[in-house]
Amino acid sequence: MDERQLSLDDLGTPLRDVTFVVVDLETTGGKPQDAGITEIGAVKVRGGEVLGEFQTLVNPGVAVPPFIAALTGITDRMLAGAPSIMAATASFWEFAHGAVLVAHNAPYDMGFLRGACDKTGIAWPSPRVADTARLARRALTRDEVRNCKLETLAARFRSPTAPCHRALDDARATVAVLHGLLDRMGSLGVQSLEDLLAFGGRTTAQQRTKRHLLEGVPEAPGVYLFRDAQGRALYVGTSRNLRQRVRTYFTAAETRARMSEMVGIAARVDPIVCATDLEARVRELRLIVEQQPPYNRRSRHPERMAWVALTREPHPRLVTVSRVRDAHIAAIGPFSGRGAATLAIEALQAAIPLRTCTDRLPKRPRRAAGCVRAQLDQCAAPCADEGDAQSYAETAAAAHAALTGDTRAVVNALLDRMAALSEEGRFEQARSWRDRLEAYLRGCLRDEQLAALGAADEVVAAQCVDGAWHIHVVRFGRLAAAGLVPRGDNPRPRLDALVQTADAVEPDEALVEETEMLWRWLTDGATRLVRASHPLALPVHVGGAQLDVVRQARAAADSLRSIISAR
């Protein structure tokens, strides 16, 4: 086995190239959201060298408690003419722009900085943050230090500045601690910024010996496949930067035991460069379904999907099936599993009194009397002499309508039931019927979306992303071609070429999840439809508007329940 190791540059951002701003705050000791900052001190370092320092007192707008003044030496008199919280924090963020922040017990300092942003209306810059206290707890043992307080660590790493509860001095001491920890953690596999931000996690021997697998992986968007020595796919993933993503599997940033085990088995990584993010996601899905990689958890079992179908019988009934056949008059789905399909059937049967017996009934009744459901007027009893075959035919027709685009009967019936249960204080039962209604509506919406896109022999659409055009050709619900036109280029020639070279696709060839993925992309609001051979439209009584009704009912029921419970 080739066990060559790549350079540190290939394994992440080298720590020597990272600009850190080590920050410390003094505060009034209140809550972080009160933003009671009294002093900010910071030191900017890169490659072991100090690039600059920042220090300012801050007027918090409130009095400094006496015990805080005694601890820090910062008094109300000192802060009387100091900059406001807005001015001081704005200056700090300008100083720290683009740097990785470091603090000792970082959640405390970040909490006050965030509170200051919220209080003053400054947008939180979402900086990357390293915590020297947490790093020390990972890198050092109790035999080396009795605790991980800043004073203890500063003495351990021989800081020239002793911490004294003043912001700049404490920041200088934290710089010494940071550098000492980086030296110590280098032997533990922390050699890049990605490692450091993983809070000092350690790379395994398997990760270190497999770093050569990164060779040949480009910095481009696409799909990557980890394979074993026999060429079998172990794991499939996507990334906008294949090289950057794959290398994380060989650093301390990857902490999942499952992935470390996979890396230990892997013998090669196969990259597949894709033109667009959507193409990469589609290819990932297809590869997972086709090759069943054991370390992928999603999309590996499309056979577990289920449909709710109306049988083609003299007296139809609802069934849960794994595939819709000619023996079914109509169907909705697919659902994620039989559990969700069962919820949808219960919603339908509550509104439309279909029979629930599993017998195959002849056209003419054979029984003298109906079952219990017939006696409760929940079924027209087509199996019995006393039944009403014509009434049942009308019921079956209503069920057919509910499965082919008209959800009104089910929605109205279940909303009435939920309202009645809520008025009686039976909130749990109301919520259970809400869940059934939501499952039914989701199945209807999914079915209509798949049908609309699956019926179109060609759809061409484009989306502008950062000035570049992402163009896709979809045929019968399957991605047939994808291309990218750089900023400033005319997209028309590339679009025409994609249509001419797109894959030939047969109806019903696409994966359900792929068609859904393409529908979401086509309807996300940013996509421009160039042309479509079939209208991409849904029935007026199916879709987001119906689900919005359920969501409103959900909110109303939850609100009413909380009010009643509080009394």
165 a catalytic residue: yes
What is the three-class DSSP state of 413? helix
Backbone angle region of 467, left / alpha / beta, with phi > 0 → left and psi within -120 to 50 → alpha: left
Q: Is 225 left (phi over 0), alpha (psi -120 to 50) or beta?
A: beta
Minimal CA–CA distance to 177: which of 146, 206, 155? 155
With b for 16 or more beta-carbon neighbours within 10 A and e for fewer, the 56-70 pattern comes to bbbbbeeebeeebbe
My answer on whether omega of the bond before 334 falls inside 30° of 0, hence cis, is yes
Of 40, 137, 150, give the one whose Cα is nearest residue 90. Answer: 40
Catalytic annotation, pick one of 165, 179, 534, 541: 165
DSSP 450-492: HHHHHT-S-EEEEEEETTEEEEEEEETTEEEEEEEE-TTS-HH
Taking the C-alpha atoms of residue 550 and residue 286, their distance in angstroms, rounded to an integer, is 33
Distance CA 509, CA 527 (A): 24
User: What count of other Cβ atoms lies within 10 Å of the Cβ of residue 209?
Assistant: 17
Residues forming a β-bridge with 26: 39
Residue 541 φ/ψ, nearest 5 degrees: -100, 20
Contacts of 94 (CB under 8 A, 6+ apart): none
List active site positions.
165
